Amino acid sequence: MQLRIITDQPWQVAADVLALPIVGEPAFNGALAELDRRSGGELAAMAAFGELTGKRYHAALAASGDLPAGRLLAVGAGPGDTINRETIHRLGATIERRLGGRAVHSLAIWLGDLGTYVDGGDAIAAELLVRGVVEGSYEPKAIYLATVESAPPILDELILVAPGADTAALTRAANRGRIMGEGANVARTLANRASNDVSPIVLADAAREIAARNGLSIDVIEPEQAAELGMGMFLAVGRGSDNPPRMIVLRSGEAGQLDALGRHLAIVGKGVCFDSGGISIKPADRMEEMKMDKTGAATVIAAIETVARLAPGTPLLAIAPAVENMPGPHSTRPGDIVRALNGKQVDITNTDAEGRLILGDALTYAEQLGATHLVDVATLTGAVSRALGHLVTGAFGTPQAWYDAVIAAGDQAGERYWQVPLIDDYVVEMDSWYGDLQNSSSAEGSLVKSGLFLREFRTKPWVHLDIGGTGYFRKASPFAARGANGVTHATLVELALAGAR
C-alpha cells in the first residue's frame, strides 16, 4: 500500500472512494457545502433521507456526481467536544471496514478539522487514521481461510487529503501510523491463532523470526534451565501439558542499557497458549476463547518489533512466559506448594489462577535481567470484564508516578484505562496455611487480589494491565472484527519510545 499526502481540496481528489468525516449533526457548510454541491446535492439528500446520520462510526456510501472521486463515504465522528485520539483511530478503522467486499483500490480520506480536536493537530490525526485503516483491514478469517467473503479491501493506495498541510510532517506521521497498525495486527494474529497451531514452542519460533527480522536478541528458556533458575511457579503451570513451556526473552539494545529517560523498561505478557483451568477445570461454555489467553504475550512480542522498526536500538526487554494450562496426571494439584523465582513459597489453591503464577516469575526474571521499570499485560481475570466491560482496560500500579507515566503513554496511543486500587488490607485474605501466600482466595475483591498477588513478585516500579475484558471482541463492531484487537500494543510502544534517543 502506497501512502500519499495531498494538500489539494477534497473536491479535487481522484480516488475510488473519498471518505468524509462528519463532525456533529450533518451540516453542509464550508468545504462540505462545496462537496455537496459538486455531488449534485447527494450528501444533503442522503442526510434528509436519514441515511447519512453523523452518528459516531455510522458510515454512508453516496454517489459522487461530478466529483473526481468514484464514491463518497460520509462517516460520523460524533459530537466534536467528545472526539479524542481513540475516536479518530476508530474512524479510520470504520472507513476501511465499511468498504468490506467493495472494489476499492485507492481510498482517500479528507482530514477535515479532525486535527483540531487533539493535541498534535493534523499530523496526529493522520497517524491515527492510517493506523485505524491498517487495523480495519485486519480479517481474522484470513488466518485459516483462503478466501473470505466481504473482506476489507486490500488497498493499493491510501491518500490523506489535508489542504495546506506540511506534507513532510504528515508523511512521517502516516508512516508511523502504518507501522503501529501493522504491529497491532501482528499481535492479533498471534493471539487469534488456534491452540493446535500455536503451542509455546511455536510461539517461541514466531518470536525468533521476529527477532531475526528486526535485529533483536532472543533467549528461549526451556524447562530444564527454568528449573535450574528456580522458576517454580512458571513450571507448575506448564506441567500438565505435553506441549512444554518456554520462557521467551526478547531484547532490543544492550543488556542493562538505560534509555534516554534512565530506564531499562521490561514489558511482560501472559502467554497461556490454552487455559483449560488445569485441575481446577473451567466450564465448557466459552472455553474455546481461552486460546486467546496468550494475547498478552502476543502483544509484547509485537510491541518490541514495532519499537525496533520505529526506533532501532531503543533499550527494551520483552518477556513472554508461554505455557499450556492442562489437566493430566502430571498437572499441578490444588494445594501444591511451589517455590517462586523470588523465593516465596506459593500455595496454588486454584490452578485456574495460572496467569499470575507465570507472570510472577517473569517479573522477577525481568528484574534479574536488569529491568528498572516493569509493565505486564495479561488476560488475567474474568472479573475485570465484569467491572469495566470490553472497552476499558483495568490498570494497577505502584508507585503512582510510574502508573501515571504508563497511562500518559496510553493517552498518546488513544487507549483507555481505569485504575484499580491495590488495597493492602486484602493481602491477609491471601495468606496461606502452609506457604507465604496462596494464588487465589474468595471471589470478593478478586480483581484487586490478582494485582496484589503480582505485586509480591517485583520490587521495581510496576504497572499491570488486565485485558481480560478488552483483549478480544466477542462481536464485530463498525471498527473491529471479532477476536483479538491489539489493545495495549500502542500504549507499550509509546511508552518505550518515550525513552528513544
C-alpha cell at 265: 523498561
C-alpha cell at 453: 498477588
C-alpha cell at 482: 471479532
The region that residue 183 occupies, defined by phi over 0 for left and psi between -120 and 50 for alpha, beta otherwise, is alpha
**What's CA 358's distance to the chain center, in Å?**
20
Measure the CA–CA gap between 339 and 359, rounded to whole angstroms.
14
Which residue carries 481522484 as its cell?
A: 14
Q: Does 355 bind Zn ion (CB under 5 A)?
A: yes
CA Rg value for the chain: 24
Q: Does 293 bind ligand BES (CB under 6 A)?
A: yes
Total number of residues binding Zn ion (CB under 5 A)?
A: 4
Of the listed 4, 55, 102, 282, which one is catalytic? 282
From ligand BES, Mn ion, Zn ion, none, which one binds at residue 7 (CB under 5 to 8 Å depending on kind)? Answer: none
From Mn ion, ligand BES, Zn ion, none, which one binds at residue 381 (CB under 5 to 8 Å depending on kind)? Answer: ligand BES
**Catalytic-residue membership of 176:** no
Contact flags string 428-447 toward ligand BES, x per CB under 6 A: ------------x-----x-
Which stretches does DSSP call E strand in 122-171? 157-161
Quick one: which of 137, 145, 61 has its CA closest to 92?
137
From Mn ion, ligand BES, Zn ion, none, which one binds at residue 361 (CB under 5 to 8 Å depending on kind)? Answer: none
Of 122, 139, 275, 361, the one binding Mn ion by CB under 5 A: 275
Q: Does 342 bind ligand BES (CB under 6 A)?
A: no
Measure the CA–CA gap between 119 and 452, rounded to whole angstroms.
36
Measure the CA–CA gap between 263 and 374, rounded to whole angstroms.
10
- Closest distance between Zn ion and the C-beta of residue 381, in Å? 8
Q: Does 324 bind Mn ion (CB under 5 A)?
A: no
Specify whether the CB–CB gap between 203 and 271 falls below 8 A.
Answer: yes
- Closest distance between ligand BES and the C-beta of residue 155, in Å? 33
Measure the CA–CA gap between 383 and 164, rounded to whole angstroms.
49
Of the listed 38, 239, 356, 458, which one is catalytic? 356
- Closest distance between Zn ion and the C-beta of residue 133, in Å? 32
The secondary element (H helix, E strand) that includes residue 184 is helix 167-192
- Closest distance between ligand BES and the C-beta of residue 286, in Å? 7
**Please, which residue, 129 or 290, has the CB nearer to Mn ion?**
290
Total number of residues binding Mn ion (CB under 5 A)?
A: 3
**Please, which residue, 122 or 354, has the CB nearer to Zn ion?**
354
Contact flags string 245-284 toward Zn ion, x per CB under 5 A: ---------------------------x--x---------
Measure the CA–CA gap between 17 and 158, rounded to whole angstroms.
10
- Closest distance between ligand BES and the C-beta of residue 288, in Å? 11
Specify whether the CB–CB gap between 281 and 366 falls below 8 A.
Answer: no
The region that residue 444 occupies, defined by phi over 0 for left and psi between -120 and 50 for alpha, beta otherwise, is beta
Q: Which of residues 451-470 bind ligand BES (CB under 6 A)?
A: 468
Contact flags string 232-271 toward ligand BES, x per CB under 6 A: ----------------------------------------
**Catalytic-residue membership of 291:** no
Measure the CA–CA gap between 401 and 398, rounded to whole angstroms.
8
Which residue carries 472484527 as its cell?
A: 481
The secondary element (H helix, E strand) that includes residue 363 is helix 355-368
Of 42, 86, 305, 352, the one binding Mn ion by CB under 5 A: 352
Tell me the residue nearest to Zn ion as measured from the CB: 275
Q: Does 355 bind ligand BES (CB under 6 A)?
A: yes
Span from 201-209, 217-225, 263-271, 353-361 in contact with Mn ion (CB under 5 A): 353-361
Three-state DSSP class for residue 493:
helix
Of 350, 372, 398, 419, the one binding ligand BES by CB under 6 A: 350
Specify whether the CB–CB gap between 465 and 417 falls below 8 A.
Answer: yes
Specify whether the CB–CB gap between 498 and 267 falls below 8 A.
Answer: no
- Closest distance between Zn ion and the C-beta of residue 456, in Å? 19
Q: How many residues belong to the chain?
A: 501
Give residues in contact with ligand BES (CB under 6 A).
Answer: 275, 289, 293, 350, 352-355, 379, 381-383, 440, 446, 468
Give residues in contact with Zn ion (CB under 5 A).
Answer: 272, 275, 293, 355
Catalytic residue set:
282, 356
Give residues in contact with Mn ion (CB under 5 A).
Answer: 275, 352, 354
